[in-house]
Amino acid sequence: GQQVQQSPTSLVLQEGENAELQCNFSTSLNSMQWFYQRPGGSLISVFYNPSGTKQSGRLTSTTVIKERRSSLHISSSQITDSGTYLCAMGESSGSWQLIFGSGTQLTVMP
């Protein structure tokens, strides 16, 4: 089965609303990253957050290892936040790769 499950698949907000994106893992992890991507664009690292809570401006990431989940909270969304958000986990079983979720497509409307 899929090791990394992201939800929701897509989300449409009015500008100023908050967003909560979820990522759930089926195996234990030793690293965790959130990325932002515009269609066909590069992957921009938003957070490297293997555990705990990190905040950067309007963005907050919380990773709870025991519960095998991570979340990305976007407060006071802006039109420029639109794009795809991907979470990725690094396995703790010895593999050196990031395993990516399918992404959440966020659209912020004016």
Partner 1 sequence: EAAVTQSPRNKVTVTGGNVTLSCRQTNSHNYMYWYRQDTGHGLRLIHYSYGAGNLQIGDVPDGYKATRTTQEDFFLLLELASPSQTSLYFCASSDAPDAEQFFGPGTRLTVL
69 forms bridges with which residues in the sheet? 24, 64
CA gap 93, 58 in Å, rounded:
33
* Shortest reach from residue 8's CB to partner 1, in Å: 16
Kindly state the tokens that stand for 89: 């986990």
The β-bridge relationship of strands 69-74 and 83-91 is: unpaired
Residues 85-104 that bind partner 1 (CB under 8 A): 86, 88, 90, 92, 96-98, 100-103
Kindly state the tokens that stand for 81: 């936040």
Nearer to partner 1, 14 or 97 (CB): 97
Find the binder of partner 1 among 48, 52, 64, 109 (CB under 8 A): 48
Closest CA to 98 of 36, 47, 23, 32: 32
Does 63 bind partner 1 (CB under 8 A)? Our answer is no
Does 9 bind partner 1 (CB under 8 A)? Our answer is no
Nearer to partner 1, 68 or 75 (CB): 68
Does 21 bind partner 1 (CB under 8 A)? Our answer is no
Distances in Å between the Cα of 42 and the Cα atoms of 38, 59, 83, 84, 101 are 7, 19, 11, 11, 16
Residues that bind partner 1 (CB under 8 A): 30-31, 33, 35, 40-45, 48, 50, 86, 88, 90, 92, 96-98, 100-103
